[in-house]
Amino acid sequence: IVLTGGDDRLWKTWGFPDGNILLTGEGHTDWLSGCCFRPSGTQLVTSSGDTTVRIWDLSRRGCILTLRGHSRAVRGCSWHSCGDFVASASMDGTSKIWDVNSERCRYTLRGHKESVNSIEFLPFSSTVLTSSADKTLSLWDVRTVSRLH
């Protein structure tokens, strides 16, 4: 299964190698910038130009949680390997770590001078890597909300 998101405001799962569409999700009001399966494979996260991050349940075929808190478009998203946390990167210059279970923002990472364009958890760690339009990469320890480099 392959997951895609695009300018049409939709995410789609595709059968591979046949290329047939298995599921389509709609609900965002602007382009999708990122989409990622939860490690368990039962849910996915999407990020959008509409400033939101959404959690989708594949068995229910719908959005089960909308995370709001960024003031500009969200450029990327990522699941932590444990499946309980989602990270988002935004054009507002911040990144956020969301606790999916409590449905709230746990941490806001500030330090980039321009848009944060991508974010990834390092596997099985509390470290995230962000990249920014300010031409820097940063490593963050999300337990202490401190910039490592």
Reported as a single tens digit per residue, the pLDDT across 105-132 is 999 999 999 999 999 999 999 999 999 9
**Average model confidence (pLDDT) across the chain:** 94
pLDDT at 41 > cutoff 90: no
Please check whether residue 87 is in contact with residue 49, taking contact to mean a CB–CB distance below 8 angstroms. no
The whole-number average pLDDT for the span 81-90 is: 96
Identify the CATH assignment for 2-147 out of 2.40.100.10, 2.130.10.10, 1.20.58.110, 3.40.50.12780. Answer: 2.130.10.10
pTM over 0.85: yes
Please check whether residue 100 is in contact with residue 66, taking contact to mean a CB–CB distance below 8 angstroms. no
Give the model's confidence band at 60: pLDDT under 50 very low, under 70 low, under 90 confident, else very high: confident
